[in-house]
Structure 1
Amino acid sequence: MSRSTRQLKLGAFLMATGHHVAAWRHPDVPAQAGLDFAVYKELAQIAEAARFDALFVADSLAAPTGPIASRMARSDYFEPLTLLAALAAVAAVTERIGLIATSTTSYNVPYHVARKFASLDHLSGGRAGWNLVTSDNAAEARNFGREEHFGHAERYRRAREFHRVVTGLWDSWEDDAFVRDKASGEYFDPDKQHLLDHRGEFFQVKGPLNVARPPQGYPVIVQAGSSESGRELAAQTAEVVFTAQPSMAAAQAFYADLKGRLKQYDRSTQSLKIMPGVFVVVGDSESQAREKFEAFQDLVEPEVGVALLGRMLGNFDLSGYPLDAPLPALPLTESGQQSRQQLLTELAGKDNLTLAQLGRRIAGGRGHYSLIGTPGQIADELQAWFEEGAADGFNVLVPHLPGGLRDFAGGVIPELQRRGLFRTEYEGRTLRENLGLARPKNQFV
């Protein structure tokens, strides 16, 4: 396949002040960005002008707690669907860029999720995407009447059924069901309405949905699980996968494994886009890029880095361990991200890192592959991953917002375009069209 027909896909990962845990302390970063719509409006316009495929907003249903929580900046930020609806509907903000929001299957119910994402797809003219997650934060349980989080296997059984119900509800109506014929008095064609009437292990949902079928048929389904259960769910249901991979070799193995699972579900390899996360710091020279990065690293308090580490390992409290001690042996968590726990444990052992060193190491990329250099150096690496079977594109993480995104859009994007690796204009108006994904047929027709 030539470059003219295969180009990489790019998502802009928006995390309030930036992906670096200390970004909010940097003088160039608006510390209140999590609740400042003007900041998000600027980010969306930067990304769309650069022709990113989508904006991606993650989510958690619990604020940080504990002795270090007051020093971390993930306690106040917009609910993703509300934010993306505003970016879609407010005049002159966005027109083409995709809008992907996280919504957990553990602490939601299918009808609400189906209705909200169908509404976002209509508001945006077909640009919505649902990042289906099972919740890796055990602290969410107590905000929803549970003493304990769901176990790993149960979370994935629930997610599989949740997906079946949501997609069934999106198919409640055929595309032309709503005739709205004033002369005859018929608002919709009853033969084109379909009741789901689902009864399963976790849910009983009759339907139909009280929103017309989304413009895309289904909003694009995104997932981020890389455990064995996560991979199998992705092979069965996902159209885009976000993943954290520490090296090209690891990314190639993940790519081959996940693409290889598609055949058993009668899916083509083109029906799933694998987009590893990449943490990027751009400079006019490599030394300038490293100086930028170290300015953020210098703001990392050791205790904050270790608190972030404990959260990412599966909600372990590591505050009782000496900062200069090695990472203690931890059980494989039932409640957290098993794949991320394995990745970070292997990183600590390979480089013989202390807790403080490991916390500092992940303060920016949080386990994702990191690139620090010039636009040309960064483009070289992205091109190699793309052309050598490690990625279909990338979910771009920058240390700070909006500056880091502006650096990538102004430096790396033109370099990728010059090489013929990235679009100069959008292919269509919907997220599916721009990602090259087929519009799903209604399962009841």
Structure 2
Amino acid sequence: MTRRQGPGRFTVGLALQGAGWHPAAWTVLPRGDGTRLTELGYWRDLVQHAERAGIDYVTFEDAYQIEGGAPDWEAPRDLAEVSLDATLLAASLAPLTKRIGLVPTIGLTHAEPFHAATSIQTLDHVSLGRAGLRAKLSASAAEAASFGRKSSLGLDAIFAEGTDAVEVIRRLWDSWEDDAVIRDESTGRFIDADRLHYADFEGEHFSVKGPSIVPRSPQGQPPVFALAQAEESFDFAARQADVVFITPGRSTVAELVATIRDAELRVGRTGEPLRIVADLEIFLGDEDGSTEEHFRALDERVRADSGYRSDTRVVVRSNVITAELIAKYADAGLDGVRVRPLTHGDVAEFVDRVRPMLEARGIVAPPNPREKSPSLRKTFGLVPRPANRFAASHAERPGTAGSAATRAPRSSTQAAPARKAHRA
């Protein structure tokens, strides 16, 4: 058995998307649930069920256009589902849950990094340290047209901009030192402004002053997640992510792990290695062999010549075979698996039947509702609360408030972020 790359335990996450990842999933929803996809109760039931079963985190998909199916496949538009804002949904679920990590997707190609930073900080506060950010970059011309602010960029420009966006976000997350809020009644100061710092980012794509409007959150730096499938995305993850999702199928797990480690060396990554998690799509069923027949019946509703296609491995098998595959991922040294249920029913099937099989194999621990809620960073074996980058320079100058280059002024006025125009 190969040791996993990171010091954390093997993690199990769920990627939630509407009625499921299959574009015809809504056709097999329980009666009445089709009208509940936009209701908080629908998502609450799914996430609370996953939490009780011991699932470590859930991710929420987000999109800037009407779409359906896996990332590399377009369903007929009349099969596409509604989408909700992922960050708002996660924030709504935070007070209704206690232990499970909440990771919304934000499309950083179009979203302002200042808004993304403050949204995730807010989620981290209201969830008491269970927030993460899945950074999504897009080359879609249709998404660009939805915004109308800029045309679709080439891949190099998209990933360069995305790298800058995450750097801005991370600087803003550190722009308040941990002890910036002092609430000193004797002096009438709520904040020690000497412990607020400018992000002071100047790049080709952004010019952001800062500081954030939100105090440093429980994790300090909520973990950043990225999906990697090509060289540019591997390098992006190696530069800016804490956790990377890989998609076995076209390449083996061993090949993908080697590619990730090569990317870390190529970009000069320092500190903690990337935690590597395999994405797996599931359509589960009984041991009688009828699962594939049921999947074909679902597939026929797609009205496409080649049926459903995915960017990762699709398991249309029994619960036992699915558990065996995940066990192989654990033995191969991966840090976890993120399951994409193809239908609503696959969520319950996985958490109620497959996860207990993983417990029996010693791959995951039984859920312990009495245990103190772990931060999402701790779940992945990351440094629980990284040191603030600005506090280090502040501490080097005893009796001073830090350099003028990074210190925010004693003013209640927030310096607004500005976005530079893209180079033609």
TM range (shorter): 0.7 to 0.9
Query: Which of 233, 238, 251 pairs up with 1:230?
Result: 233
Paired position in structure 2 for 1:415: 357
Question: 1:295 aligned to 2:301?
Answer: no
Question: 1:429 aligned to 2:374?
Answer: yes
Aligned residues of 1:60 and 1:137 also touching (Cα < 8 A):
no
Question: 1:193 aligned to 2:196?
Answer: yes
Aligned residues of 1:286 and 1:373 also touching (Cα < 8 A):
no
Paired position in structure 1 for 2:337: 394
Summarize the alignment of residues 30-429 of structure 1 with structure 2, pairs less than 5 Å apart: 30-64=33-67, 69-74=76-81, 76-89=82-95, 93-146=96-149, 148-246=151-249, 250-263=252-265, 264-269=268-273, 272-302=274-304, 356-357=305-306, 360-362=307-309, 366-389=310-333, 391-401=334-344, 403-425=345-367, 428-429=373-374
Give me the whole-angstrom Cα distance separating, in 2, the residues matched to 1:166 and 1:146: 21
Q: Give, in angstroms, the shift of residue 69 of structure 1.
A: 4.7
With over 3 angstroms needed to count, the CA separation of the structure-2 counterparts of 1:174 and 1:246, relative to structure 1, is same
Q: Give, in angstroms, the shift of residue 400 of structure 1.
A: 1.0
Q: Give, in angstroms, the shift of residue 88 of structure 1.
A: 0.5
Letter in 2 for 1:253: E
Aligned residues of 1:17 and 1:33 also touching (Cα < 8 A):
no
With over 3 angstroms needed to count, the CA separation of the structure-2 counterparts of 1:204 and 1:6, relative to structure 1, is closer
Give me the whole-angstrom Cα distance separating, in 2, the residues matched to 1:237 and 1:246: 25
Q: Give, in angstroms, the shift of residue 368 of structure 1.
A: 1.6
Q: Give, in angstroms, the shift of residue 6 of structure 1.
A: 5.9
Give me the whole-angstrom Cα distance separating, in 2, the residues matched to 1:53 and 1:10: 6
Give me the whole-angstrom Cα distance separating, in 2, the residues matched to 1:14 and 1:162: 25
TM-score under structure 2 length normalisation: 0.83
Letter in 2 for 1:434: T
Give me the whole-angstrom Cα distance separating, in 1, the residues matched to 2:117 and 2:27: 38
1:261 counterpart SS class: helix
1:179 counterpart SS class: strand
Question: 1:441 aligned to 2:384?
Answer: no
Give me the whole-angstrom Cα distance separating, in 1, the residues matched to 2:65 and 2:262: 36
Identity %: 30
Note the residue ranges of structure 2 that are not aligned, 5 or more in a row: 69-73, 393-424
Q: Give, in angstroms, the shift of residue 261 of structure 1.
A: 3.4
Aligned residues of 1:262 and 1:268 also touching (Cα < 8 A):
no
Give me the whole-angstrom Cα distance separating, in 1, the residues matched to 2:173 and 2:43: 29
Q: For residues 177-233 of structure 1, what are the alpha-carbon distances to aligned partners after superposition, in whole Å with 9 as ceiling and x for unaligned?
A: 101122332212222111122221111111111100111111110011321111111
Give me the whole-angstrom Cα distance separating, in 2, the residues matched to 1:114 and 1:418: 40
Q: Give, in angstroms, the shift of residue 300 of structure 1.
A: 2.2
Aligned residues of 1:12 and 1:56 also touching (Cα < 8 A):
yes
Give me the whole-angstrom Cα distance separating, in 1, the residues matched to 2:57 and 2:29: 28
Query: Which of 28, 31, 34 pairs up with 2:30?
Result: 28
Aligned residues of 2:272 and 2:382 also touching (Cα < 8 A):
no
Note the residue ranges of structure 1 that are not aligned, 5 or more in a row: 303-355
1:241 counterpart SS class: strand
With over 3 angstroms needed to count, the CA separation of the structure-2 counterparts of 1:2 and 1:206, relative to structure 1, is closer
Give me the whole-angstrom Cα distance separating, in 2, the residues matched to 1:198 and 1:7: 36
Letter in 1 for 2:260: L
Give me the whole-angstrom Cα distance separating, in 1, the residues matched to 2:243 and 2:388: 20
Q: Give, in angstroms, the shift of residue 59 of structure 1.
A: 1.1
1:246 counterpart SS class: coil
Q: Give, in angstroms, the shift of residue 27 of structure 1.
A: 5.2
Q: Give, in angstroms, the shift of residue 299 of structure 1.
A: 2.2
2:177 counterpart SS class: coil
Aligned residues of 1:7 and 1:420 also touching (Cα < 8 A):
no
Aligned residues of 1:281 and 1:292 also touching (Cα < 8 A):
no
Aligned residues of 2:238 and 2:260 also touching (Cα < 8 A):
yes
Q: CA RMSD in A?
A: 2.2
| Structure with the largest fraction of helix | 1
Paired position in structure 2 for 1:323: none
In the alignment of these two chains, the number of paired residues is 376
Give me the whole-angstrom Cα distance separating, in 2, the residues matched to 1:8 and 1:372: 23
